[in-house]
Amino acid sequence: MAGPKKVVSKQLGELLLERGIINEEQLDKALKVQKERGGLIGQVLTSLGYAKEEEIAQALTVQYGFPYLPLECYEINVEAMKAIPQNVAEQYNLIAIDKIGELLTIAMSNPLNVQAVEDVEMLARCKIQVFVSTMTDISNAIKKYYQKK
């Protein structure tokens, strides 16, 4: 699988600035924290309380062209979920939400994790379609749906 292509060449921080979600000072602080502790800038911004997970997910959809899917009201196809073991879903913070033929649709919080998509393609023996969702939505869905099994 080829890596995701940027639709907009701006950094996530720039997009959030333009949208008025964060200011320059908040971005500078988040970049310093990211340099010290590591992690993704979106996660740093949410942990500092500067941005909501939904705002980060929606900015990623603008940046990379992945569709955004809030999972709280979405009914996940339990048969599709069987394609991905719970430990893999938890490790990569993703969940299978539907399967049509050889196309498995997944929601994930970090659509830039090419390794995760490749691993799921191998495990499920399917082509993967990626939607973006928040870490919280996906964690809640994993708890809800994998506990039903």
Contact 119, 96 (CB under 8 A): no
142 and 83 assigned to the same domain:
yes
Q: Are residues 49 and 105 in the same domain?
A: no
Give the pLDDT score at 64: 81
Do 57 and 118 lie in a common domain?
A: no
Determine the pLDDT at residue 140.
Answer: 93
Indicate the pTM of the whole model: 0.80
| pLDDT at site 139 | 94
pLDDT at residue 5, as a whole number: 59
For 126, the domain range is 78-148
pLDDT score for 112: 84
- At residue 13, what is the residue type? G
Residues 89 and 44 in one domain: no
The per-residue b/e assignment along 8-29, b for 16 or more CB within 10 angstroms, e otherwise, is eeeebbebbbeeebbeeebbeb
26 shares its domain with 84? no
Q: Which residues of the chain are under the pLDDT cut of 70?
A: 1-9, 148-149
The pLDDT of residue 85 = 94
User: Three-state SS for 102?
Assistant: coil
Asked whether residue 97 falls in the same domain as residue 119, the answer is: yes
What's the total number of domains in the chain? 2
- Please check whether residues 55 and 93 belong to one and the same domain: no
